[in-house]
């Protein structure tokens, strides 16, 4: 119920203006977002890298409305990649990109060209790009773009969402040599026709997908904070004889930092997904939807004013 409310709120432009202007949002945002500028993102990346963590930076922004905005998002990534390279943060740092921020809803070709420019900049910087997964209406287009990009930039990664009924099939297609696949549960409000609704069914699907990825020839990126799924992933890695460099764990910035340190301390590659930028509203609403404790934190911040 709470989840649906926050996911509905994520799509409301009116609420967005209200929440963004409320000073109380700042503390909550700081917990999950590195800051508004590339400068702040670079600083947070350096701290994570010094702690032995890998990073995937996300310049916040989705549902771009004009081609100019899409090109500006592209330019932000290109300049960020140059800075990461010049600061010696690549290859530890890569970038995550939402095709909607690059204009996917306006013009698929434009989004693809923008993504290609980012992949070229990443290759130049000695690192990679992972394409985020958005709502199910974009899955086909995003996977088509991925296959196109992988022809020239084979390191380009995909994100698959275990809550989608189609995802086991997508895992099979993508569990091939050189293919980087980030497996997450999925963060959008999706209808029953396309997505499992109960947490148990989503978890069961996650394990089936994990089995396919861990037993396949690609590079699985296990993106979850769920202790049970992390333990199952560790078990599957042992079972399928994968050494620690042959898969990685990924967690969101600000979520379970002690678990990030524990996994890294155990010799695992751990990548922290690090968002930055001013368009944090949709991202924050999805984080609130995921966990009642986050909502309590938010409400406490509001009521203490
Ligand atoms: P879930 O939210 O069910 O949490 C399971 C358990 O984890 C909790 O019961 C608790 O034990 C623990 N936990 C979770 N949050 C915690 C917290 N704040 N503090 C302490 N314990 C906590 N989604 C998407 O649709 N498209 C995408 O491209 C991406 N990309 C992405 C990248 C990365 C690196 C990650 C980690 C996640 C995504 N996601 C995503 C988001 C993903 O789909 C999902 O919504 C969140 O990761 C939350 O799901 P969990 O797997 O953590 O489980």
- Residue pLDDT, tens place only, 118-155: 999 999 999 999 999 999 999 999 999 999 999 999 99
Average pLDDT (230-248) is 97
Q: Whose CA is nearest to atom 35 of ligand 1?
A: 223
> Could you confirm whether 58 is annotated as catalytic?
no
Task: Indicate the length of the chain as a whole number.
Answer: 305
CA 281 – CA 78 distance, rounded (Å): 23
Q: Provide the 3-class DSSP secondary structure of residue 177.
A: coil
**In testing the pocket of ligand 1, which one of 60, 167, 185 has its CB within 8 Å of the most ligand atoms?**
185
Which residues sit with their C-beta closer than 6 Å to ligand 1? 132-133, 159, 161, 182, 184-188, 223-227, 250-252, 255-256, 273, 290-291
- Residue 108 · residue 143 · CB < 8 Å: no
> Could you confirm whether 172 is annotated as catalytic?
no
Crossing angle of the two packed helices 25-32 and 292-303, in degrees rounded to 10: 140
**Of 28, 45, 53, whose CA–CA distance to 258 is shortest?**
53
CA 296 – CA 83 distance, rounded (Å): 37
Q: Given the residues 132, 150, 170, 271, select the one marked as catalytic.
A: 132
**In testing the pocket of ligand 1, which one of 142, 184, 268 has its CB within 8 Å of the most ligand atoms?**
184
pLDDT at 113 over 70: yes
Q: What pLDDT sits at residue 297?
A: 59
Ligand 1 atom nearest the C-alpha of 186 is: 43
- Residue 200 · residue 177 · CB < 8 Å: no
Confidence of residue 39 (pLDDT cuts 50, 70, 90): very high
**255 Cα to the center of ligand 1, angstroms:** 8
Instruction: Identify the structural domains of the chain with CATH numbers, from first to last.
Output: 1-33+288-305 (no CATH), 36-279 (3.20.20.220)
For 46-59, the pLDDT digits (tens) are 999 999 999 999 99
**186 Cα to the center of ligand 1, angstroms:** 8
């Amino acid at each position: 119920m709470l989840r649906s409310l926050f996911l509905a709120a994520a799509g409301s432009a009116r609420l967005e203006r209200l929440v963004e202007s409320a000073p109380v949002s700042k503390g909550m945002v700081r917990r999950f977002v590195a800051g508004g500028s590339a400068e702040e993102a670079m600083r947070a990346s350096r701290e994570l890298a010094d702690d032995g963590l890998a990073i995937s930076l996300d310049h916040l922004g989705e549902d771009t409305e004009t081609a100019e905005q899409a090109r500006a998002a592209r330019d932000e990534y290109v300049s960020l990649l140059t800075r990461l390279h010049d600061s010696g943060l690549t290859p530890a740092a890569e970038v995550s990109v939402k095709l909607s921020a690059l204009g996917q809803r306006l013009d698929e070709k434009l989004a693809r060209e923008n993504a290609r420019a980012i992949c070229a900049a990443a290759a130049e910087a000695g690192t990679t790009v992972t394409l985020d997964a958005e709502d199910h209406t974009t899955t086909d287009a995003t996977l088509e773009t991925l296959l196109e990009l992988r022809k020239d930039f084979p390191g380009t990664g995909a994100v698959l969402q275990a809550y989608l009924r189609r995802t086991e099939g997508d895992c099979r297609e993508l569990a091939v040599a050189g293919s980087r696949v980030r497996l997450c549960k999925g963060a959008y409000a999706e209808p029953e026709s396309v997505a499992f609704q109960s947490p148990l069914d989503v978890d069961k699907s996650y394990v089936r997908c994990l089995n396919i990825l861990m037993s396949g020839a690609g590079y699985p990126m296990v993106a979850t904070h769920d202790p049970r799924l992390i333990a199952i992933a560790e078990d599957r890695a042992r079972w399928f004889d994968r050494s620690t460099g042959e898969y990685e764990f990924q967690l969101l910035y600000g979520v379970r930092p002690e678990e990030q340190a524990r996994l890294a301390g155990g010799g695992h590659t751990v990548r922290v997904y690090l968002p930055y930028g001013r368009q944090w509203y949709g991202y924050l609403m999805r984080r609130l939807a995921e966990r009642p404790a986050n909502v309590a934190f938010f409400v406490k911040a509001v009521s203490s004013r």
